[in-house]
Amino acid sequence: DARVTQTPRHKVTEMGQEVTMRCQPILGHNTVFWYRQTMMQGLELLAYFRNRAPLDDSGMPKDRFSAEMPDATLATLKIQPSEPRDSAVYFCASGLVLSSYNEQFFGPGTRLTVL
């Protein structure tokens, strides 16, 4: 049963600390997405990759957030320095782009709390 995995599932940190979230997409998928979910803003797309190349990171605060795919089995989202307003659930999703539709498969999320 192929699924997207994310680590850690929960993270509590203090303001100013670096946070790294990891995602393992489903094997064979060629697109990876990072989302942030909060009560106030709902689901926001932060960045996405195709074939490991960043295609769009316009949803991401550039000064503190960075997203990378060092290889096809790992995507990372880093926040440095973290701030209390970054507290949210961060989801990774992967997909295989086909000509007819672009379904995404979501991981379980990383719940981040910045104190």
Partner 1 sequence: GDSVTQMEGPVTLSEEAFLTINCTYTATGYPSLFWYVQYPGEGLQLLLKATKADDKGSNKGFEATYRKETTSFHLEKGSVQVSDSAVYFCALGGSSGGSNYKLTFGKGTLLTVNP
Q: Which residues bind partner 1 (CB under 8 A)?
A: 4, 31, 33, 42-43, 45, 48, 50, 55-56, 91, 93, 95, 97, 99-109
The minimum distance between CB 73 and partner 1, in angstroms, equals 19
The minimum distance between CB 37 and partner 1, in angstroms, equals 9
The minimum distance between CB 32 and partner 1, in angstroms, equals 10
Write the CB contacts of 93 (distance below 8 Å, at least 6 apart in sequence). Answer: 4, 32, 33, 35, 104, 105, 106, 107
Measured from the CB atom, the residue of 19 and 93 that comes closer to partner 1 is: 93
Measured from the CB atom, the residue of 8 and 16 that comes closer to partner 1 is: 8
Token digits for 47? 């960045």
The minimum distance between CB 16 and partner 1, in angstroms, equals 28
Write the CB contacts of 64 (distance below 8 Å, at least 6 apart in sequence). Answer: 79, 80, 81, 82, 83, 86
Q: Is 52 left (phi over 0), alpha (psi -120 to 50) or beta?
A: left
Measured from the CB atom, the residue of 40 and 63 that comes closer to partner 1 is: 40
